[in-house]
Structure 1
Amino acid sequence: MRNLRQCWRGERQVTRANIPSGNALPALLLWLACATAPVTFAAEKVSLIKIDGAIGPATATYIARSIEEARSQNAQCLIIQLNTPGGLLDSTQKIVQSFLASPVPVVIYVAPTGATATSAGCFITIAASVAAMAPATTIGAAHPVSIGGLPMGGEPKQDETMKSKIENFAVSYIEAIAGKRQRNVEWAKSAVKESVSISADKALQLKVVDLIANDMPDLLKQLNGRVVDGKLLKTAGAEASEIVMSPSERVLQMFSHPEVMLILMLIAFYGIIAEVTTPGAILPGVAGAIALVLALYMMSILPVNVTGLVLIALALALFIFDIYAPTHGVLTVGGIISFFLGLLLLFNSGDPLFRLSLRYIIPATLVTAAFFIFVIGKGVRAQFLPVKVGKETLIGKTVTALTSIDSRSGRIFVEGEYWNAVSDTPIEKDGQAEIAAVLGLTVKLKPKGK
């Protein structure tokens, strides 16, 4: 009897043709094993990044690159684990634009427990394709006063008209985002106008977010089967592949901290002044020039206050003037006060995330004052002291003639060395004379007392 039995496993096929009856039992067992074996497929992939801290240019660049990598990896979605107190407005706008234009669904997950998505973080969460929060997290407080990065580093004190314009812009912006993502528009507007902040449970109840997840596996489980941006998500048991910051993004992230800018400014001041007062040192000047360029770059991305920069420049000028003009320390005291106030006002006070604390300002002021008073001041004043070494120190010394000295020749011994000596007035051997001038390797003498 001719039999034909086939067994499939994926794309593999097992065929039995013209099997003798004596081998029927082993063939049947093989067929049963193939038929009951589980079909295995490659696990779906989701991309993951973690944002923990203030939102700045590095964050915007990192997120934009991660979206592109998630697309190239054919990931089901990009999950952004977020914990931020806020950040720069222009960086927030770039992130929102990246979300709205993303070819892959973007999931914001405010986590871990105790995390916040306030200020700029509120805008970012509402702009996501899916907004999720962990238990005991908060969202809100999106008033523009606490969002930095105002155009041209605006002054911290604005008139009422400017405040109204900025607030109206923020309200309309978050309203458009919430409407686009079909979230609670009225609450979003109140988060800007009244700085309202709510918990995760309340956010879910008000339809500000889409779900609450205890952890990452729970989030993937709840995302599974959702249709997001026209795509059916298959995230149950998916593999989370984390995309880390590149070295250049880490450097850019470091430059987003006001403390780093303060250090660079100090290095620039110390290096350039040290090079000016001690020409030829080279290293201080090179280090100062590099630090100055980096500090200028940071001024373009941080909310710097022009008043603070002017006060710091005034302090530098007062320190230098006091070195050359003895004022018994009056200008130095003025420089210290100006430097301290300049650091206080260096960043807009309306932006709590980009503000120098006193634990940095006070030590920086004391170190700068000590640097100019004890290092630069002493060094410059030393240049005006009488010469204490070299040939010039011989002038005026009294010497004893070793031989008879006239206008043609003679010998003396002074400062451990033998010198040729001449004198317009003849001097006898063992006679006392005074050095009047040094002419190369010859000293010119004059009789003692004349």
Structure 2
Amino acid sequence: MMSEPARISRLLRARGAVLVAAAALAGVAAGAPEPEDATPEEVRSPRPVVHAAVDGIIHPLTAEYMAETIEHADQVGAAAVVIELNTPGGLLDSTRDVTQAILGARTPVVVFVSPSGAQAASAGFFILMAADVAAMAPGTNTGAAHPVGGQGETIEGDLGEKIEQDAAATIRSLAQQHGRNVELAEKAVTESLSFSAEEALERGLIDVVADGVPSLLRAIDGRKVDKVNTEEMVLETAGAVVERREMRRIQRFLAVIAHPQIALLLMSFGMLGLYVEMTHPGLIFPGVAGAICLILGFFALSVLPVSYAGVALILLALALFVAEFFVVSYGLLTAGGAIAMILGGLLLYRTPDPALRVDLRLILGLTGGMVLLVSLLLVRAIQIRRQKVLTGKEGLIGEIGVARSELAPAGKIFVHGELWRARSEQPIAAGTEVEVVAVDGLELRVRPAAATSRAPEGPIESPQHVENV
């Protein structure tokens, strides 16, 4: 039997051999070269890249979505945020909210104008210049950020000068902070210059041109980024897991509604539904659908920069269309409603961004549809009014009946499917056709309808019986 000291010595020698072998294996593994066919996707970054896609006008809902995405990236410690952008422009206040969120983020923010055919015009150009890394896909364009009036016209006078100078100062600050071509960025505002992806890269407005998100992440890997109040950061994006962050369902739904054209359509359909309900009470469905459309339309108007004068003119148009049914105006009220509708659509939004103006063709189409509907309903109402009344007292006047008894001067006649007490100014024999000329309470005033007579339906009552009725 082995002694205790010998057994301990043997265990220590075995343990040392295992440790030596493990160290040798670790050294071999550490010194082993990576396979030559390894791709960046196989060697992944431990930190994810958060991705958000914005396709549409920049307004409070899209600004909220981008700000939430950047905040989420800061919380999870993401390697970068990629905002895939395609926008014709948007609200100035919402654009400022987005640029502030980008500049204040701890995570590097990459704005990528994509896919091919996309644009970052007007407000989108400001967001692109605010990015830590500005990128575009081939076939995209950016720029054209000159402020204009609500209908695309140049803003004249001191107001136009102030708006232009403010926008120019903002874009100079953003471009200078990220080392981009300040002079060219300013010209995109003051002279409405627009650039393709290749032109923007060549002239120092953007940093990268990439075909898609994977190639973009490989292209910016290792790039140094300077964030405000932080040390220089090095991007580690090659092979990183992309976490796609979508809009919430309610955000997507409200973002669709919060569009200048959709808002006007909702307002118009809402007024149309209420108009039909008021002119045809009891249909219920047009009234309910119209109320829902109006509520959604008012929500959209609460998000967009609305002119109260435009809203007032649209409501006036509805009032004039309804008044046409109650006032004989020979079409003047309808014409006034059409003019108010067109002016209201043109003045509905107060913003210098052309992406938020309403297409004149849409306004004319909606106005023409309203005028056509009012005209059709008005013609139908006139036709109904001209028709002979078939019920009540008015429905009896002019009806032809048959005397069931002699009218001398009172008796009974059968008219309108009923037996009536009647009185005539001249004697009328039983079986004679009579015409109702007036209704006096429960008694009819009649006169002979023709010289011919016919046998009465049912028994003929005697004059004595009639007088006792």
1:180 matches 2:177:
yes
* Closer/same/farther in 2, CA of residues 437 and 43 from structure 1, 3 Å limit: same
**Secondary structure in 1 aligned to 2:50?**
strand
CA–CA separation in structure 1 for the residues paired with 2:30 and 2:185: 57
C-alpha deviation, 1:40, in angstroms: 8.5
**Contact 1:43–1:237 (Cα < 8 Å) also in 2:** no
The answer for the alignment partner of 1:139 in structure 2 is 142
**Contact 2:148–2:354 (Cα < 8 Å) also in 1:** no
The answer for the alignment partner of 1:370 in structure 2 is 372
**Secondary structure in 2 aligned to 1:145?**
coil
Counterpart pick for 1:196 among 187, 193, 201: 193
**Cα deviations by residue, 1:54-79 (Å, 9 ceiling, x for unpaired):** 32222112111212332344321110
C-alpha deviation, 1:252, in angstroms: 2.1
Deviates more, 1:393-402 or 1:297-306: 297-306
Match for 1:216: what amino acid?
Answer: V
**Cα deviations by residue, 1:348-378 (Å, 9 ceiling, x for unpaired):** 6954322333542343232111111111x13
Q: How does 1:251-266 map to 2 (within 5 A)?
A: 251-266=253-268
1:61 matches 2:64:
yes
**Secondary structure in 2 aligned to 1:103?**
coil
Counterpart pick for 1:213 among 188, 210, 217: 210
Fraction of identical pairs, as percent:
37
Counterpart pick for 2:54 among 51, 54, 68: 51
**Cα deviations by residue, 1:74-93 (Å, 9 ceiling, x for unpaired):** 32111011222322211111
The answer for the alignment partner of 1:360 in structure 2 is 362
Deviates more, 1:180-189 or 1:257-266: 180-189
The answer for the alignment partner of 1:83 in structure 2 is 86
Match for 2:184: what amino acid?
Answer: W
CA–CA separation in structure 2 for the residues paired with 1:157 and 1:53: 24
Match for 2:291: what amino acid?
Answer: A
The answer for the alignment partner of 2:273 in structure 1 is 271
1:389 matches 2:390:
yes
Q: How does 1:405-420 map to 2 (within 5 A)?
A: 411-415=412-416, 417-420=417-420
CA–CA separation in structure 2 for the residues paired with 1:325 and 1:49: 56
* Closer/same/farther in 2, CA of residues 368 and 349 from structure 1, 3 Å limit: farther
**Contact 2:147–2:352 (Cα < 8 Å) also in 1:** no
CA–CA separation in structure 2 for the residues paired with 1:315 and 1:208: 48
CA–CA separation in structure 1 for the residues paired with 2:333 and 2:25: 99
The answer for the alignment partner of 2:459 in structure 1 is none
**Contact 1:156–1:348 (Cα < 8 Å) also in 2:** no
The answer for the alignment partner of 1:103 in structure 2 is 106
**Contact 1:424–1:446 (Cα < 8 Å) also in 2:** yes
C-alpha deviation, 1:127, in angstroms: 1.0
CA–CA separation in structure 2 for the residues paired with 1:90 and 1:433: 81
**Secondary structure in 2 aligned to 1:218?**
helix
1:160 matches 2:157:
yes
C-alpha deviation, 1:42, in angstroms: 7.7
CA–CA separation in structure 2 for the residues paired with 1:53 and 1:200: 19
CA–CA separation in structure 2 for the residues paired with 1:77 and 1:7: 41
CA–CA separation in structure 1 for the residues paired with 2:409 and 2:314: 62
* Closer/same/farther in 2, CA of residues 310 and 329 from structure 1, 3 Å limit: same
**Secondary structure in 2 aligned to 1:412?**
strand
Indicate the RMSD between aligned Cα atoms, in angstroms: 3.9
CA–CA separation in structure 2 for the residues paired with 1:102 and 1:365: 47
* Closer/same/farther in 2, CA of residues 56 and 29 from structure 1, 3 Å limit: closer
* Closer/same/farther in 2, CA of residues 401 and 282 from structure 1, 3 Å limit: same
The answer for the alignment partner of 1:224 in structure 2 is 221
1:293 matches 2:295:
yes
**Secondary structure in 1 aligned to 2:57?**
coil
Query: Which sections of structure 2, spanning at least 5 residues, go unmatched?
Result: 1-9, 35-41, 450-469
1:3 matches 2:32:
no
* Closer/same/farther in 2, CA of residues 412 and 341 from structure 1, 3 Å limit: same
CA–CA separation in structure 2 for the residues paired with 1:328 and 1:188: 58
Match for 1:215: what amino acid?
Answer: G
CA–CA separation in structure 2 for the residues paired with 1:131 and 1:311: 43
The answer for the alignment partner of 2:166 in structure 1 is 169
CA–CA separation in structure 1 for the residues paired with 2:383 and 2:117: 59
CA–CA separation in structure 2 for the residues paired with 1:371 and 1:420: 44
In the alignment of these two chains, the number of paired residues is 422
**Contact 1:114–1:137 (Cα < 8 Å) also in 2:** yes
CA–CA separation in structure 1 for the residues paired with 2:252 and 2:205: 32
The answer for the alignment partner of 1:151 in structure 2 is none
**Contact 2:91–2:351 (Cα < 8 Å) also in 1:** no
* Closer/same/farther in 2, CA of residues 41 and 222 from structure 1, 3 Å limit: closer
The answer for the alignment partner of 2:465 in structure 1 is none
Q: How does 1:226-241 map to 2 (within 5 A)?
A: 226-228=223-225, 229=227, 230=231, 231-241=233-243
The answer for the alignment partner of 1:24 in structure 2 is none
CA–CA separation in structure 2 for the residues paired with 1:405 and 1:399: 13
Deviates more, 1:426-435 or 1:358-367: 426-435
C-alpha deviation, 1:275, in angstroms: 2.4
**Contact 1:323–1:381 (Cα < 8 Å) also in 2:** no
Query: Which sections of structure 1, spanning at least 5 residues, go unmatched?
Result: 9-13, 17-27, 149-153
CA–CA separation in structure 1 for the residues paired with 2:30 and 2:128: 48
**Secondary structure in 1 aligned to 2:355?**
coil
**Contact 1:403–1:429 (Cα < 8 Å) also in 2:** yes
**Contact 1:71–1:103 (Cα < 8 Å) also in 2:** yes
* Closer/same/farther in 2, CA of residues 205 and 338 from structure 1, 3 Å limit: same
**Contact 1:92–1:124 (Cα < 8 Å) also in 2:** yes
CA–CA separation in structure 1 for the residues paired with 2:167 and 2:25: 70
Structure of larger gyration radius:
2
Deviates more, 1:178-187 or 1:243-252: 178-187
With the length of structure 2 as denominator, give the TM-score of the two structures: 0.76
The answer for the alignment partner of 2:37 in structure 1 is none
Counterpart pick for 2:131 among 105, 118, 128: 128
